Amino acid sequence: MKIVDLSLPIDETAFEVHQVDIERVSHKEGVEKFNRVIMGKTFLGQIKYLLGKRILKKEDLPDQEFLSLEIVHAPVHVGTHLDYSFHYGSKSENRVSKTADEIPLEWCYSNAVKIDLSYKKPNEVITSADIESGLKKINYTLKSLDIVLLRTGADILYGTPKYFSDYPGVDVSAIDFILDRGIKIFGVDTMGIDRPYRFMLAEFLKTRDTKKFYPAHFYGRKREFIHIERLANLDKIPDIGFKIICFPVRIRQTGAAWSRVVALV
C-alpha cells in the first residue's frame, strides 16, 4: 500500500488573501518565553520579570535549549480543509447548520474516485454532464459514501495570485448529481468550489442577480453536504481503486477545519 499526501500546507510565505502568520519561538528563545508566560500569571511575577529575575535559566537546560513553540494565526480556510454547512449559512435543509466538529468521522474514511476535469477553463463551471462524462470514461458508477475528488490541476498555481483567479467552479447541477447518489463528501484541488471572485463579482455587479454570487456555497443551505477545498497531487493517484482519509481537526464550532488528506492506494 502507498500513502499519497493530497494536502497543501498552512504556509505564511505563500500568497494568501487572508493574513497568515506563524510565530516561531526557537529553542534558544524558548526559555525566555517560558519565564515571561509563567511569571506573567501574577502581578508580583510580572514585576519580578521586569526587574530581571528568572525562575528558569538557560544554564539549567541541556544544551542550553528549551522547547520550540509555533503559534499559528490563520483562518480555518487556508491549507487543505473541510467545509460544513455552518460555513454556508445559519440553516441547512431548514435545520440549524452543523459545524466542522460535528462531521461524522465514518464519512471521512471511504472508497474514493477521481474525475479528471482539467480541461475546464477558469471562467467555466463543472456541470452534472461533466461528472457523468468523466465517470463513463473510467467506467465507474458512484456508490453511497464514496468520496468524489474533482481534479482541475489548479493546485500547481498554489503560492501565487493566480491560485485565486484561475480555476473553474462547481455548478449546482454537479452537486445535485453527486448528492443524489448518496455521496456525503466531495473535494476539489482549487481554493474554492465557486468560480473565482473576479468572475462572480463582475457578473453580480452587472446584473444584480444574486444567483451569480457564491451559488455553490449558498446551495449548502438547501442541501447539506461537506466539501474539501485545496487538495493537491491528484495527478499522483489513480482514478479508482483507492481510499481517502480526511478526518477534520477538532476545532469547536467552526464552519471549516484543517485536514491532512491522504489517499491509500
Of 4, 3, 5, 7, the closest CA to residue 229 belongs to 7
- Mean pLDDT for 47-65 is 93
User: How far is residue 24's CA from residue 18's CA, in Å, rounded to a whole number?
Assistant: 19
Does an H or E element contain 190, and which?
none
Q: Do residues 63 and 80 both lie within one domain? A: no
Q: Do residues 145 and 224 both lie within one domain? A: yes
Q: What percent of the chain has pLDDT above 90?
A: 93
How many structural domains are present in the chain?
2
Last residue of a domain, one of 73, 99, 114: 73
pLDDT greater than 90 at residue 204 = no
- pLDDT tens digits along 25-51: 999 999 999 999 999 999 999 999 999
The answer to whether 188 touches 224, Cβ cutoff 8 Å, is no
This model's pTM is above 0.75: yes
pLDDT greater than 90 at residue 209 = no
User: How far is residue 243's CA from residue 257's CA, in Å, rounded to a whole number?
Assistant: 20
pLDDT greater than 90 at residue 206 = no
Domain of 257, in residue numbers: 3-14+76-264
Q: Do residues 200 and 246 both lie within one domain? A: yes
Q: Do residues 148 and 223 both lie within one domain? A: yes
pLDDT greater than 90 at residue 202 = no
Q: Do residues 240 and 194 both lie within one domain? A: yes
Q: Do residues 67 and 149 both lie within one domain? A: no
Q: Do residues 61 and 110 both lie within one domain? A: no
Q: Do residues 143 and 251 both lie within one domain? A: yes
Quick one: pLDDT at residue 223?
A: 97
